[in-house]
Amino acid sequence: MIELAVPVSRDGASLPFYRRLNVLWPLTRVIMLALCALYSGMRGDLRYYYAQAGRSDVMSSMAEYPFPVALWIMAAARTLPYAGFVALFVVTAIACDAVATRLFDRHFGREAALRWTLFVGLLGPLLYMRFDLYAAFALVLLLVFNDGAAHSRSRSVLSGLAVAMGSAVKLWPAVFGLGLLGPTRRRVTHMVAAMAGGIAWVGTTALLAGPQRVTSPLSWQGQRGFEVESLWGAWLGFARIFGSTPVSLEKRQGSWEYTGELANSLMWMVKPTQYVGYVLALSLLALGWRAGRDERVTTLALTMTCVISVLILSSPVLSPQYLIWLIPALVLVDDARLRLLGAVTLVLTQLEFPFLFDGIFSDHTLFALTTRVVILVRNMLLVWLTVRAVMLLVQRARVARRPASASSTSPATLA
């Protein structure tokens, strides 16, 4: 177990209610479920999943998602009525949330469990309505199995398989197939397990649905335009209100995007930044590889924060559920300012969706402007979080290069 803060009484008897896990967890989850029931827009993706599952061609349905998770969703949707499908989806999400809370509590202490509980509550009900939670749960397992205090070869195998499981839900967790923590043997074991798990689901997909189904999520993403909440799309939102060049809204590829002459011109300039983001993510993985010599799971969490936030920001698509990906890493980063930035970013994301999202389509200038300002501030905070995380990782990698006698007296975090 790693020590994250001042020890907390496990029964919580002497603590205020907001630091008592047995009060905070059910309270926040009841609020989340109530909001799920109140806002029908929350269930938009579930309606889409259910409709897609009804298509006759099972093998090509939901081509934007990896085949294993699409197959699970289609099997559930074809077996159950819509209400039963929604209930199963939500119950599965709650179970993942509860198990993650327990894992953080058991392996990293009550403080970590409280952070997970709070961060999930700050992002709100969306977490139970999207299967991005399953990818985040795989990252929780990755962190747990890399807990140095209980390291073993079997845990390295399990951490690699956790990465493979995450990539079967969303492709991006595959970047953590690199062994980023500990001695060489531990890293190699992790990489071999991740590769074996990945080959297993990729091979099965190719065998059952054809090779094109393996890459269909990448093809789908490559056709996306400026999603209304993305880093670059947010600026087009202001142009739609105040600009002289028309900017239209269109639902494409399952999300709302800005289209028109201005959007097309900007895409030509912005598209290369996505590839710059990929290069930067790879560079950060290399830094994380070096910094991981200290064998601290907090270093792995910091690397994950850097890489995930860069991938989110460099894409022309930024759906609110993408912020779910950051939560497991933010729980364990050992920098209070980074956690605070993450918390505020999550709050603004929930404020934007579901509460203010209709402002995207509103003809009322004040409502439309308020929504766009919230999105812009959220995105700028995410940029700030990314810059700070990268600075911390660079500093930690430098410390890892020094001799033990020198690094022991060097600061590990920014002031």
Decide if pLDDT at 266 tops 50: yes
Residue 256, strand partner residues: 251
Please give the Cα distance from 326 to 136 (Å, whole number): 8
CA dihedral 165, 170, 176, 177 (to 10 degrees): 50
Model confidence at 117, pLDDT cuts 50, 70, 90, reads very high
Please give the Cα distance from 240 to 309 (Å, whole number): 27
Q: Which residue has the tokens 């559930």?
A: 76
Q: What is the pLDDT of residues 44-100, one digit of tens each?
A: 999 999 998 877 677 778 999 999 999 999 999 999 999 999 999 999 999 999 999
Q: What is the pTM of this model?
A: 0.92
Give the pair of three-digit tokens for residue 381.
């905070």
Q: What is the pLDDT averaged over residues 287-302?
A: 92
3-state SS string for the chain: CCCCCCCCCCCCCCCCHHHCHHHHHHHHHHHHHHHHHHCHHHHHHHHHHHHHHCCCCHHHCCCCCCHHHHHHHHHHHHHCCHHHHHHHHHHHHHHHHHHHHHHHHHHHCHHHHHHHHHHHHHHCHHHHCCCHHHHHHHHHHHHHHCCHHHCCHHHHHHHHHHHHHHHCCCCHHHHHHCCCCCCHHHHHHHHHHHHHHHHHHHHHHHHHHCHHHHHHHHHHHHCCCEECCCCCHHHHHHHHHHCCCCCEEEEECCEEEEECHHHHHHHHHHHHHHHHHHHHHHHHHHHHHHHHHHCCHHHHHHHHHHHHHHHHHHCCCCCHHHHHHHHHHHHHCCCHHHHHHHHHHHHHHHHHHHHCHHHHCCCCHHHHHHHHHHHHHHHHHHHHHHHHHHHHHHHHHHHHHCCHHHHCCCCCCCC
Decide if pLDDT at 361 tops 60: yes
Model confidence at 405, pLDDT cuts 50, 70, 90, reads very low
Amino acid, res. 114: L
What pLDDT, on the 0 to 100 scale, is given for residue 222? 84
What pLDDT, on the 0 to 100 scale, is given for residue 56? 66
Q: What is the pLDDT averaged over residues 26-44?
A: 94
What pLDDT, on the 0 to 100 scale, is given for residue 403? 58
Q: What is the pLDDT averaged over residues 291-301?
A: 92
